[in-house]
Amino acid sequence: QVQLAESGGGLVQAGGSLRLSCAASGRTFTDGYWAWFRQAPGKEREYVGARVDNGLITYADSVKGRFTISRDSAKSTVYLQMNDLKPEDTAVYYCAAGNSVRVVRSPRQYDYWGQGTQVTVSS
């Protein structure tokens, strides 16, 4: 079993930055798919971006150019650098991981999830 733990959320003003971390523990999880999702109150879980098994990284249009996903394989940690944050980015952010993902934007494709970390952007 793989456990994921996010950290780094908080309150930031519009235009500010935050870096979220997602650390994996338990059974070794190296290659595979890593993704970030977010969920605002009353809304469905939304795809943010993913690092697929060949290293390619994709982003939702709403965050492209502002958010960056990176990975430190030695630490089994994935990061989400968020710049130029906007109030509409306010949500609980979740990291997810999976071995066999066909549709990276679908939350149901992922096997492992973190508990989420709150990001609040004030205007």
Q: Is the pLDDT of residue 123 over 70?
A: yes
Average pLDDT, the chain: 93
Which among 85, 35, 39, 90 has a CA at the least distance from the CA of 65?
85
- pLDDT for position 7: 96
Indicate the SS3 state at residue 114: coil
Specify the DSSP class assigned to residue 96. E
**The one-letter amino acid at 117:** T
The whole-angstrom separation of Cα 51 and Cα 78 is 9
Indicate the SS3 state at residue 68: strand
Torsion angle of C-alpha atoms 87, 59, 35, 38, degrees rounded to 10: 20
**In this predicted model, what pLDDT tens digit does every residue of 47-65 receive, in sequence order?**
999 998 788 999 999 999 9
- pLDDT for position 49: 97
- pLDDT for position 54: 82
- pLDDT for position 30: 64
The whole-angstrom separation of Cα 51 and Cα 18 is 19
**The one-letter amino acid at 78:** V
Token code pair at residue 116:
């989420």
- pLDDT for position 29: 67
**In this predicted model, what pLDDT tens digit does every residue of 71-100 receive, in sequence order?**
988 878 999 999 999 999 999 999 999 988
Question: Which pLDDT band, with edges at 50, 70 and 90, does 27 fall under?
Answer: confident
